[in-house]
């Protein structure tokens, strides 16, 4: 497949813009052909207009048709074969194995949403039947279900060029709920984005989807994304990236004459608590496990464990001594973009210059472009309490170990934390009994609490919660991974006193789709 560098306004390619950019191979620093034309505001407008026109016909398709479309996207992505993996590797420097795994995850994610749509109970149907004999007033017939919001703007993330990008979780969940999407491709992997988007278009054409069910605009500057979020036709936004970017888009969406929800996942530092019993029992495995988790994917995961806590002890000293010994032989890898690399180097410099911080150890350095050197730093909990900025994300393979004098200090550290995606507790059963308060505190701070594991690695399943209180996300009530993500792009709607014949199948008495419903207060499937 030949890349053309155009916008895709539904099925129609366009390139009206005067500005263009190229992808850059982060491992060599060299540009990669072709030129990608930046979308004009008129093209953004046309894409949203087409999405608006496609909304009703797309919403009115049967669930089976929507599920077939989602499955077909996965099949067309797979059919791109090595071209997709090779282009993604050139644009991101991620290893082939990782990209192949991510492609599998992307396809399985689409299939999982297709299953959810086919099964149908996600619409959360609720029926309260009429009671005309009720006194003093008759009770009306009221029937509620979730309906799609309308066109959704999706921002591809740089760190998951497949699973969180053009056909990633945000796109899959929006399309599954019945919303057309207008995608802003991430400029770090425009070619990968075009290939995947063409797969979406092929799937849309093959399965008879309306023109405009998906569009994609390119852009190397923030104006394209801003025009998209400001457009009155857009009804919600899905975003993964920096706090700065997510917050800017959230502010923009709130200032619109008709404000809309922004589901921005902006990362976090994912506190890890090493309790005394765990350090006594398995400090060697904990030290190796931490190094592995911090450096996985060159630390470019929103679940990277960036802050670690423990109580001062002989075991803690030995744990740190092992990191000091092991880290210098660790080669971390090439980062996704020159900007991300610069931010990492700058962020590390700022942390290292903060009062109380010692650099415990650094990984190998390589004289290649955008290479990240892993780093582990240490400080006291009192330093964190004095410098809360130490809690902020430094995107890359680094972490800070904070030691406290006792349990009270550990709990004070937990209490001081802001919102994160995850927190982790390593402990024994005895530790857990002793630190029950820690569990309660952390529940207020994060979306996912992990026991005796590491936060990197996010399972795509029905019960996953990948979100958390601000600043981890702009809406702690939702997840961007797992099937619950579908509800972000839907709203509750109820019919009052409508005749059966015009109700959607999900709300008809006969329950033709056999979905789970709350009928007069009882869950049932008949
Ligand atoms: P980013 O700067 O947040 O950019 C992500 C997307 O948001 C891009 O498409 C960008 O548009 C858009 N954007 C950013 N600021 C905007 C603004 N003010 N108005 C409109 N659109 C805006 O993320 P990145 O480029 O992938 O990486 C930069 C930093 O983000 C990293 O160093 C890291 O700190 C963080 N990050 C976090 C995660 C995570 O999972 N939490 C993932 C990736 C990156 P343009 O592309 O047009 O500029």
Structure tokens given for 398? 């680094």
Do the Cβ atoms of 361 and 324 come closer than 8 Å? yes
Mean pLDDT computed over 270-286: 98
Given ligand 1 and candidates 94, 220, 241, which is best to mutate, with the most ligand atoms within 8 Å of its CB? Answer: 241
**Cβ neighbours for 248, distance < 8 A, ≥ 6 positions apart:** 222
Do the Cβ atoms of 188 and 337 come closer than 8 Å? yes
Query: Collapsing DSSP states into helix, strand and coil, what is residue 377?
Result: strand
Q: Tens digits of per-residue pLDDT, 161-216?
A: 999 999 999 999 999 999 999 999 999 999 999 999 999 999 999 999 999 999 99
How many angstroms separate the alpha carbon of residue 159 from the centre of ligand 1?
A: 10
How many angstroms separate the alpha carbon of residue 89 from the centre of ligand 1?
A: 20
Burial of 111 (0-12, 13-18, 19+ CB in 10 A): middle
Do the Cβ atoms of 437 and 454 come closer than 8 Å? no
Given ligand 1 and candidates 245, 339, 341, which is best to mutate, with the most ligand atoms within 8 Å of its CB? Answer: 245
Element housing 493 (H / E): strand 490-496
Q: Residue 108's pLDDT band (boundaries 50, 70, 90)?
A: very high
Catalytic residue flag (residue 324) = no
- Report the C-alpha gap between 7 and 47 in whole angstroms: 9
Predicted TM-score of the model (pTM): 0.97
**Cβ neighbours for 428, distance < 8 A, ≥ 6 positions apart:** 275, 277, 278, 281
Handedness of CA 419, 156, 466, 331 (dihedral sign): negative
| Ligand 1: residue whose CA is nearest its atom 41 | 267
Q: Residue 407's pLDDT band (boundaries 50, 70, 90)?
A: very high
> Is residue 267 over pLDDT 90?
no
Nearest-5° Cα angle at 430, 424 to 433: 75
Burial of 209 (0-12, 13-18, 19+ CB in 10 A): buried
How many angstroms separate the alpha carbon of residue 131 from the centre of ligand 1?
A: 54
Give the position of tokens 């109700």.
503
- What order of strands is seen across the sheet that includes strand 126-128? 490-496, 142-148, 126-128, 517-519, 522-524
Do the Cβ atoms of 274 and 378 come closer than 8 Å? no
Q: Tens digits of per-residue pLDDT, 9-31?
A: 999 999 999 999 999 999 999 99
Given ligand 1 and candidates 155, 158, 159, 243, which is best to mutate, with the most ligand atoms within 8 Å of its CB? Answer: 158
How many angstroms separate the alpha carbon of residue 245 from the centre of ligand 1?
A: 5
Mean pLDDT computed over 369-373: 97
Alpha-carbon Rg for the chain, nearest whole angstrom, is: 25
Helices assigned H by DSSP within 16-144: 41-59, 63-79, 82-92, 96-119
Do the Cβ atoms of 449 and 425 come closer than 8 Å? yes
Structure tokens given for 260? 């809309």
Please state, for a pLDDT cut of 70, what percent of the chain lies above it.
100
Catalytic residue flag (residue 393) = no
Atom number in ligand 1 closest to CA 268: 41
| Ligand 1: residue whose CA is nearest its atom 14 | 245
285: closest CA among 308, 316, 319?
319
Q: Residue 110's pLDDT band (boundaries 50, 70, 90)?
A: very high
How many angstroms separate the alpha carbon of residue 53 from the centre of ligand 1?
A: 29
> Is residue 526 over pLDDT 90?
no
| Ligand 1: residue whose CA is nearest its atom 23 | 241
Q: Tens digits of per-residue pLDDT, 458-506?
A: 999 999 999 999 999 999 999 999 999 999 999 999 999 999 999 999 9
Average pLDDT, the chain: 97
> Is residue 399 over pLDDT 90?
yes
Would you say how long the chain is, in residues? 526
Is the shortest distance between the CB of 395 and ligand 1 below 6 Å? yes
Q: Tens digits of per-residue pLDDT, 429-448?
A: 999 999 999 999 999 999 99
- The residue annotated as part of the active site, out of 43, 91, 194, 265, is 265
Identify the pLDDT of residue 206: 98
- The residue annotated as part of the active site, out of 90, 194, 302, 315, is 302
Strands 236-240 and 262-265: parallel
């Amino acid at each position: 497949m030949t890349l053309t560098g155009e916008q895709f306004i539904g099925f129609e390619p366009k390139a009206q813009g005067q500005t263009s950019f190229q992808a850059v191979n982060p491992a060599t620093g060299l540009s990669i052909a072709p030129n990608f034309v930046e979308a004009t505001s008129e093209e953004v407008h046309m894409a949203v207009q087409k999405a608006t026109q496609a909304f009703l016909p797309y919403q009115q398709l049967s669930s089976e048709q929507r599920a077939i479309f989602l499955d077909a996207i996965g099949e067309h992505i797979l059919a791109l074969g090595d071209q997709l993996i090779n282009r993604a590797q050139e644009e991101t420097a991620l290893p082939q194995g990782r990209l192949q795994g991510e492609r599998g995850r992307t396809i399985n994610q689409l299939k999982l949403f297709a299953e959810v749509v086919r099964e149908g109970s996600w619409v959360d149907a609720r029926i309260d039947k009429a009671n005309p004999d009720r006194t003093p007033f008759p009770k009306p017939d009221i029937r509620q279900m979730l309906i799609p919001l309308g066109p959704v703007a999706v921002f591809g993330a740089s760190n998951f060029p497949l699973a969180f990008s053009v056909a990633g979780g945000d796109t899959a969940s929006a399309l599954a709920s019945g919303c057309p999407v207008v995608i802003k491709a991430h400029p770090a992997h425009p070619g990968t984005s075009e290939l995947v988007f063409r797969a979406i278009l092929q799937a849309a054409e093959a399965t008879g989807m309306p023109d405009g069910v998906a569009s994609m605009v390119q852009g190397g500057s923030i104006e394209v994304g801003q025009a998209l979020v400001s457009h009155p036709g857009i009804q919600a936004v899905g975003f993964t990236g920096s706090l700065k970017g997510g917050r800017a888009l959230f502010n923009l969406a709130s200032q619109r004459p008709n404000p809309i929800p922004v589901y921005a996942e902006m990362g976090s530092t994912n506190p890890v608590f090493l309790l005394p019993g765990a350090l006594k029992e398995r400090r060697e495995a904990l030290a190796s496990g931490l190094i592995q988790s911090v450096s996985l994917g060159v630390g470019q995961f929103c679940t990277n464990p960036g802050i670690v806590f423990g109580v001062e002890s002989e075991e803690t000293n030995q744990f740190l001594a092992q990191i000091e010994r092991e880290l210098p032989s660790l080669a971390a890898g090439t980062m996704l973009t020159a900007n991300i690399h610069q931010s990492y180097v700058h962020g590390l410099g700022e942390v290292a210059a903060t009062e109380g911080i010692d650099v415990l150890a650094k990984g190998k350095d390589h004289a290649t472009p955008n290479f990240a050197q892993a780093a582990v730093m240490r400080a006291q909990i009192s330093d964190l309490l004095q410098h809360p900025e130490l809690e902020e994300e430094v995107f890359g393979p680094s972490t800070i170990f904070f030691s406290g004098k006792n349990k009270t200090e550990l709990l004070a550290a937990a209490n001081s934390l802001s919102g994160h995606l995850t927190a982790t507790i390593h402990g024994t059963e005895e530790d857990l009994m002793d630190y029950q308060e820690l569990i309660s505190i952390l529940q207020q701070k994060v979306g996912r609490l992990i026991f005796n594991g590491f936060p990197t690695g996010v399972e795509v399943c029905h019960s996953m919660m990948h979100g958390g209180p601000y600043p981890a996300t702009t809406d702690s009530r939702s997840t961007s991974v797992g099937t619950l993500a579908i509800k972000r792009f839907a709203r509750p709607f109820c019919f009052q006193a409508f005749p059966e014949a015009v109700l959607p199948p999900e709300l008809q008495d006969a329950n033709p789709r056999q979905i789970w419903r709350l009928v007069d207060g009882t869950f049932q499937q008949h």
